[in-house]
Amino acid sequence: MRVDRDIKKVTSEATLLVAAATELFLGSLASGAYSAAATRGRRAVRAAHVRAAARAHRPTADFLLDCLPAEEEAPRARPAAGSAGGGGGREAKPLPRGTRRIDAFFHKVT
């Protein structure tokens, strides 16, 4: 909130309230994602489980589902360890289809 140029003043109480609401929201989403993973017999929570948790709560689904990947992509084949082009320099992996960077949430829509 303090980074937004359109907002002149933010009280410490407002900042605390938004932080507490965010913590409760993320806790609820993480709990729902864990439940979805456990129901499917998985030990690791994946994007599909977070999507299932968001889908289960209509208000969350309304604003969050368009930001999550539509479906989990199939794992890509990894090149062998001795293959050419593995000269130590790592290239950035492209984002999965339908994924946006978190920075997009903080840009004002015009």
CA distance 69 to 79: 25
pTM of the model: 0.57
Domains present along the chain, CATH in parentheses: 1-72 (1.10.20.10)
The contacts found for 6-12 with CB under 8 angstroms, 24 or more apart, are: 6/108
Q: What is the pLDDT of residues 70-95, one digit of tens each?
A: 665 444 444 544 445 445 555 666 76
The contacts found for 16-25 with CB under 8 angstroms, 24 or more apart, are: 25/60
**Mean pLDDT across the stretch 44-64?**
88
User: Pick from 71, 79, 78: which is nearest to 96 by CA?
Assistant: 71
Residue 74 confidence (pLDDT) = 43
7: exposed, middle or buried (C-beta count within 10 Å: 0-12, 13-18, 19+)?
A: exposed
CA distance 29 to 92: 28
Q: State the pLDDT confidence band at 1, using cuts at 50, 70 and 90.
A: confident
Pair 108, 6: CB distance under 8 Å = yes
